[in-house]
């Protein structure tokens, strides 16, 4: 089976008309296996969102090679194999929950082809949004809005789900609950997940592996494998000594990132 993400000597940054080229991350070598849950940590501005943008084909790399599920990022995007939950969840305020979730169908022009209503109902149930399909975003809590954004990203049954600080704005109790829901969803669907967060706890709790990026120069600082510290299905208890040790380790790595 092709890796979900395979990057070799990848250089990332921005080409600006006036200011020239801004280099963000360089020499990125990364293999993410199909079905893996990878957490990504790193200081603000180090290039976490930039990396997800390149994987999602929203930005071209400056150099190096990248393949997504054995294809180019563009091919994977056109095959609707990549879902994205953005850093600032972007629901359209004038569309209901259901209409927001079904947006990818509308944009992709596939509305009539696929069983949209059935799939949407299934997603509402899976994400604990039953009965809320007719509401507008301003009638939802922050946590509910994030779940709508996740449902929308799952609509096309992506093999690769990119999540950019999806729970950053939520209180800790809600965040913990959504973390558990996300893990259940991951176990059920087998989707590969790349999850960006600033929370060390969240990164350690969710990830089978954790990648830490550093800034100036932007590079992969470390990749830690936590599979030995967790149960086979990636279950763990936040207070397990191995998990507490992993958090201390991550804090030390981040302090020098
Ligand atoms: N369009 C752009 N043109 C030039 N530079 C940009 C552009 N977008 C982002 N950058 C710069 O690229 C760098 C990486 O940005 P990025 O958004 O990937 O950081 P991040 O790790 O996601 O940070 P945060 O944790 O704050 O979300 C930053 O220095 C940012 O200023
Ligand atoms: Mg970001």
Q: Would you say residue 162 lies in a domain?
A: no
Q: Would you say residue 144 lies in a domain?
A: yes
Q: Please identify, by atom number, the ligand 1 atom nearest to the C-alpha of residue 47.
A: 18
pLDDT in tens, 87-122: 776 899 999 999 999 887 776 655 444 566 778 888
**In a shared domain, residues 190 and 228:** yes
pLDDT in tens, 119-137: 888 889 888 899 999 999 9
**In a shared domain, residues 75 and 200:** yes
pLDDT in tens, 173-201: 888 888 998 999 899 989 999 999 999 99
- CB-based contact 133:120 (threshold 8 Å): yes
**In a shared domain, residues 37 and 145:** no
- Kindly state if the Cβ of 216 falls inside 6 Å of ligand 1: no
- Kindly state if the Cβ of 49 falls inside 6 Å of ligand 1: yes
Ligand 1 centroid–CA 230 distance in Å is 33
**In a shared domain, residues 99 and 208:** no
pLDDT in tens, 41-51: 999 999 999 99
Exposure string of 23-46, with b = 16+ CB inside 10 Å and e = fewer, is ebbbebebebebbbbbbbbbbeeb
**In a shared domain, residues 103 and 153:** yes
User: For the residues 65-69, what does the mean pLDDT come to?
Assistant: 98
Write out the residue range of the structural domain in which residue 240 sits: 1-81+180-257
Distance CA(139)–CA(164), nearest Å, equals 23
Domain total of the chain: 2
pLDDT of residue 116: 66
Ligand nearest to the CA of 218: 1
Would strands 20-32 and 5-16 be described as parallel, antiparallel, or unpaired? antiparallel
pLDDT of residue 172: 87
**In a shared domain, residues 72 and 102:** no
**In a shared domain, residues 200 and 152:** no
């Amino acid at each position: 089976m092709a890796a979900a993400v395979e990057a070799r000597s990848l250089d990332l940054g921005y080409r600006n008309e006036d200011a020239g080229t801004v280099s963000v991350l360089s020499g990125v070598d990364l293999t993410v296996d199909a079905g893996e849950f990878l957490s990504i940590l790193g200081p603000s501005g180090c290039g976490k969102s930039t990396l997800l943008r390149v994987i999602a084909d929203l930005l071209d790399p400056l150099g190096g090679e990248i393949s997504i599920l054995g294809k180019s990022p563009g091919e994977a995007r056109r095959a609707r194999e990549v879902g994205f939950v953005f850093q600032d969840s972007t629901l359209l305020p004038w569309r209901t929950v259901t209409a927001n979730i079904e947006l990818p169908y509308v944009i992709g022009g596939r509305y009539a082809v696929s069983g949209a209503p059935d799939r949407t109902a299934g997603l509402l149930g899976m994400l604990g949004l039953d009965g809320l399909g007719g509401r507008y975003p301003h009638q939802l809590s922050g946590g509910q809005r994030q779940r709508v954004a996740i449902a929308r990203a799952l609509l096309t049954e992506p093999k690769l789900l990119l999540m950019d600080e999806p729970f950053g704005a939520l209180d800790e109790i809600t965040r913990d609950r959504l973390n558990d829901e996300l893990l259940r969803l991951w176990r059920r669907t087998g989707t590969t997940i790349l999850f960006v967060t600033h929370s060390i706890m969240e990164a350690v709790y969710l990830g089978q592996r954790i990648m830490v990026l550093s800034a100036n120069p932007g590079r992969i600082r470390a990749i830690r494998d936590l599979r030995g510290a967790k149960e086979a299905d990636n279950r763990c208890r936040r207070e397990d000594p191995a998990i507490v040790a992993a958090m201390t380790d991550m804090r030390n790595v981040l302090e020098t990132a």
